[in-house]
Amino acid sequence: MNLSSNDKQLKISILYKNNILQDMCFFKNYKNSDLYNKLKELKQVLNKKGL
């Protein structure tokens, strides 16, 4: 599978966001925060797309 530079950049940003999401799981205060919910939603969308 060949990835264009845009795809690689996207993959890097996805990994970065997933790490942020995992880090935030340790902070219960963030559970109801807007940012947490948006990242969680993004992760679900990306998982459906197989990224």
For 12-45, write each residue's pLDDT tens digit: 777 777 777 666 656 655 556 777 778 888 888 8
* Structure confidence at residue 9 (pLDDT): 72
CA geometry: angle at 45 spanning 39 and 46, to 5°? Answer: 85
41 vs 7, which has greater pLDDT?
41
* Structure confidence at residue 23 (pLDDT): 66
- Look up the pTM and report it: 0.36
Question: Which letter, b or e, does each residue of 8-33 get, where b requires 16 or more Cβ atoms within 10 Å of its Cβ?
Answer: eeeeeebeeeeeebeebeeeeebeee
* Structure confidence at residue 24 (pLDDT): 60
